[in-house]
Amino acid sequence: MNTFESVVIAIVEGLTEYLPVSSTGHMIIAEKLLGVDPNNFTKLFTVSIQLGAIFSVIVLYWKKWIAPLKAGKQGLDFFVKLGIAVLPALILGKLFDDAIDAMLENAFTVSITLFVGGFLLLFIDRFFKETSIEKQEQLAYASAFKIGLWQCLAMIPGMSRSAASIIGGMQQKLTRSFAAEFSFFLAVPTMAAATGYSLILKDWTEGNGVVMKGYEIILHNSDYLKAFLIGNIVAFVVAMLAIKFFIGFLQKHGFKLFGWYRIAVGAVLLILFATGYLK
């Protein structure tokens, strides 16, 4: 992966991570179109590029992260709910790690889930009309856990972590804007866990049979290190812009445009598979 490819993929990550269109799915397609070698670093980059996106949420919502700490025991309720919500992803992510890795190479799965998920977004506002929870103090622990279960659908490339958790939030009666915000907050521990596991804990077997940790793969190759650093910086900046756009757009227009976008992209990809352009 060269610098140009890492920047393009990072832009895709930043633009799509917090939109309900699947960042992983878009990155997989971008890598296929760019002809990036699907080696261990490419898989690692697809996950670790989320670091930049994580920091964008922390920076944009820094007051909301600090406020609970200042509120003492009562304020810690916010972090407890995030912890409860992230549990399903931590457990299932560990259990199905190999299966998830295998799907990261399957662009056809992405095209199907983009297409089907688009129809869900077209009707989400009709499905969940009665939404009244608009702040975290109103959110029950059980509801936070159920949103976390919905988020696990995003382990299927193309589904979208953001879309799954927002749908889950609205199913638990969160308002549209609060469901999106809670999805942003939930992304931080979820993506931090996935990135930390890939970089520090997971064993990656290289082509020569040598087993390495993710951070060792990055540090072993100067080009990989450069791509990793530049990619995360780009993802950080682009994600900040995307989040600001998304909240404002969502409050005015809802999810329909994103639904039609997913359907269009999914349809185009299916045509490319049918014609043999993508394999």
Share of the chain above pLDDT 70, in %: 94
Three-state DSSP at 140 gives coil
Q: Which range of residues forms the domain containing residue 239?
A: 3-195+223-274
> Which residues are 133's β-sheet partners?
174
The mean pLDDT of 267-274, rounded to a whole number, is 86
Q: What is the pLDDT of residue 75?
A: 67
Chain position carrying tokens 């919502």: 61
Contacts of 203 (CB under 8 A, 6+ apart): 211, 212, 213
Q: What total number of domains does the chain contain?
A: 1
- Does the structure show a pLDDT above 80 at 262? yes
pLDDT digits (tens, 9 = 90+) for 9-54: 999 999 888 888 888 788 888 888 888 887 889 888 988 898 898 8
Q: With respect to residue 209, please indicate whether it lies within any of the assigned structural domains.
A: no
Q: With respect to residue 109, please indicate whether it lies within any of the assigned structural domains.
A: yes
Using alpha carbons, select from 86, 60, 51 the residue that is nearest to residue 181: 60
Rg (CA), the chain: 18
Q: With respect to residue 203, please indicate whether it lies within any of the assigned structural domains.
A: no
Q: 209 pLDDT band (50/70/90 cuts)?
A: confident
Q: What is the chain's mean pLDDT, rounded?
A: 85
Counted residue by residue, the chain has a size of 279
Q: With respect to residue 213, please indicate whether it lies within any of the assigned structural domains.
A: no
User: What's the pTM value of the predicted model, to 2 decimals?
Assistant: 0.82
Q: 103 pLDDT band (50/70/90 cuts)?
A: low
Q: With respect to residue 201, please indicate whether it lies within any of the assigned structural domains.
A: no
CB 52 within 8 A of CB 23: no
- Does the structure show a pLDDT above 80 at 97? no
Picking from 51-55, 71-75, 111-115, which range would have the lowest pLDDT averaged per residue? 71-75
Q: With respect to residue 205, please indicate whether it lies within any of the assigned structural domains.
A: no
Which stretches of the chain are DSSP H helices? 3-16, 23-34, 40-48, 50-60, 62-70, 77-95, 97-103, 107-127, 141-151, 161-171, 176-196, 214-220, 222-253, 256-274
Chain position carrying tokens 């009707």: 123
Q: With respect to residue 106, please indicate whether it lies within any of the assigned structural domains.
A: yes
Q: With respect to residue 215, please indicate whether it lies within any of the assigned structural domains.
A: no
Q: What is the pLDDT of residue 143?
A: 93
pLDDT digits (tens, 9 = 90+) for 118-159: 888 888 877 877 778 888 888 899 999 999 999 888 888 778
